[in-house]
Amino acid sequence: MKLELRHLQIVCAIADQGSLSKAASALGIAQPALTAQLQRIERALGGALFERDRRGARPTPLGELVLSRARVVLPAVQGLQAEAARLVRGESPRRYRIGSVNGPILSGLVHRIATSEPGAELAIDASWSATELSDQLAAGRLDFILIGTCGDAAPPTDHELAWQVIAVDAVFVLLPESHPLAGGGEVDLADLADAQWAAVPGRSCLRDCFTACCVRAGFTPRAVYEGDPRTCMELVEVGEAVALCQSSFRPPPGLVAMPIAGAPLRWRHLLGWHPQSSMAAMSGQMVRFAVESYQDAAQRSPRFVKWLEGRPGFGAVTL
């Protein structure tokens, strides 16, 4: 038997649903038929793709290999079909204009758009200001924006824009690995009362919220150095400062992101678009891509993955 796209779709459905019964329901076919299909696929590939027991179905190493290829092939074929249909209709390639503040989602989002629509045009606009990006979105100069807000603070409300929370990060502390506090499970803010701080620029209330947290911990933080992410990391590397960072941030070698005891500070990642724009129809796909991108970024930070256990208020939203 030769493998077909529908076979790859079956494998992905089983992996995504976690059991053959749930996958059969999602695909709209009977479970015995799905089981027979899986057996034929496994014979064609020469081995079992899933380990099955009462708890469900989990991919074997061969299954993981097939899944990794299927998750590339299927979106590429879907993108090809969409591009071909637009070409036949005489339509030009879709253009995505995306604005973003500093965060973990943008690169994965761009990758997913490029993979699903190989002919799509992508334009990226970076800014430190969520308000500035919101103004451009409202004016029609951007199609989607990725911004962050401190805690439960609302996104800019000067315009009638649509917003979707993608994920919630805790705010961690970035330390050099040689720092005396870097070896523990979390850091008490009071233990950093004498530290010099560094942070990227921004116009959110994070600095005021951070200062309030420090005051509750019994001290007033020293003046904060402002700089781009690279400069902040260099200041931490040389021991000149410690820095605030998002919990999904993966530190470079030599640095470690430490949770703050009690998780007093949160950072929400949001995707925004204009509900009346021509690109609003793509918002569902963009939300899904953004959530998946955040999940990928979070998985690259083992400390954050461990910290997330038992903390349902943090991490990617459930769609």
Task: Tell which CATH classification among 1.10.357.10, 3.40.605.10, 3.40.190.10, 3.30.70.2190 matches the domain 94-167+267-316.
Answer: 3.40.190.10
pLDDT at residue 112, as a whole number: 94
| Pairing state between β 95-100 and 121-126 | parallel
| Cα–Cα distance for residue pair 184/192, rounded to 1 Å | 14
**Could you report the average pLDDT of every consecutive run of 10 residues in the chain (319 residues)?**
89 92 91 92 93 89 91 79 73 86 90 88 89 91 94 83 95 92 89 88 76 91 80 90 89 90 93 91 94 92 87 89
Domain with CATH 1.10.10.10 in the chain: 5-87
One-character DSSP codes across 243-264: EEEETT--PPTTEEEEPBTT--
Task: State how far Cα 239 lies from the chain centre.
Answer: 30
For the question of whether the overall pTM of this predicted structure is more than 0.85, the answer is: no
Compute the Cα dihedral for 103, 261, 306, 179 and give only its sign.
Answer: positive
pLDDT at residue 124, as a whole number: 93
Domain with CATH 3.40.190.10 in the chain: 94-167+267-316
Residue 121 pairs in a beta bridge with: 95
Q: How many CA atoms lie within 13 A of 64 on its CB side?
A: 3
pLDDT at residue 207, as a whole number: 80
| Domain 5-87, classified CATH 1.10.10.10, yes or no | yes
Report helix angle 5-17 to 20-27, nearest 10.
Answer: 130
